[in-house]
Amino acid sequence: MSSAPIDTAVDATARARDFLGVTRLTNSALRGWLHGLPGVDHVGCDARAGDLGTRSIKNDAKLWAIDLAISMIDLTTLEGSDTAGKVRGLCAKALTPDASDLSTPRPAAVCVYGDMVPVAREALGTDSGVGIAAVATAFPSGRASMAVKLADTREAVAASANEIDMVIDRGAFLAGDYLTVFHQIADVKQACGPARLKVIMETGELVTYDNVRRASWLSMLAGGDFIKTSTGKVAPAATLPVTIVMLEAVRDWFALTGEMVGVKPAGGIRTSKEAIKFLVAVNEVAGEEWLDNKWFRFGASSLLNDLVLQRQRMKLGFYSGADYVTDDAPSLY
Which is the catalytic residue, given 198, 228, 277, 328?
228
In a domain, 324, yes or no: no
The residue segments making up the domain with residue 294 are 9-317
In a domain, 332, yes or no: no
Q: 3-state class of 33 per DSSP? A: helix
Residue 56's CATH number: 3.20.20.70
Q: What is the pLDDT of residues 57-111, one digit of tens each?
A: 888 899 999 999 999 999 999 999 999 999 999 999 999 999 999 999 999 999 9
Strand-pair partners of 226: 198, 262
Q: Is 115 a catalytic residue?
A: no
Predicted pLDDT at 325: 58
How far apart, in whole angstroms, are the C-alpha atoms of residue 106 and residue 86? 18
Predicted pLDDT at 3: 45
Whether the model clears a pTM of 0.75, i.e. scores above it, the answer is yes
In a domain, 323, yes or no: no
First-to-last alpha carbon distance for the chain, in angstroms, is 31
- Asked if the model's pLDDT at residue 310 lies above 80, the reply is yes
For 179-222, strand residue ranges (E) read 196-200
Query: Are the C-beta atoms of 123 and 88 separated by less than 8 Å?
Result: yes
In a domain, 333, yes or no: no
Predicted pLDDT at 320: 64
Predicted pLDDT at 322: 57
Q: Is 198 a catalytic residue?
A: no
Q: What is the pLDDT of residues 172-190, one digit of tens each?
A: 999 999 999 999 999 999 9
What average pLDDT does this structure show over 192-197? 97
Q: How many domains does the chain have?
A: 1
Which is the catalytic residue, given 152, 165, 169, 187?
165
In a domain, 222, yes or no: yes
Q: 3-state class of 249 per DSSP? A: helix
Q: Is 228 a catalytic residue?
A: yes
The residue among 68, 3, 110 whose CA lies nearest residue 275 is 68
In a domain, 136, yes or no: yes
Q: What is the pLDDT of residues 134-185, one digit of tens each?
A: 999 999 999 999 999 999 999 999 999 999 999 999 999 999 999 999 999 9
Q: What is the pLDDT of residues 6-54, one digit of tens each?
A: 445 668 999 999 999 999 999 999 999 999 999 999 999 999 999 998 9
Which is the catalytic residue, given 93, 149, 198, 264?
264
In a domain, 305, yes or no: yes
- Asked if the model's pLDDT at residue 308 lies above 70, the reply is yes
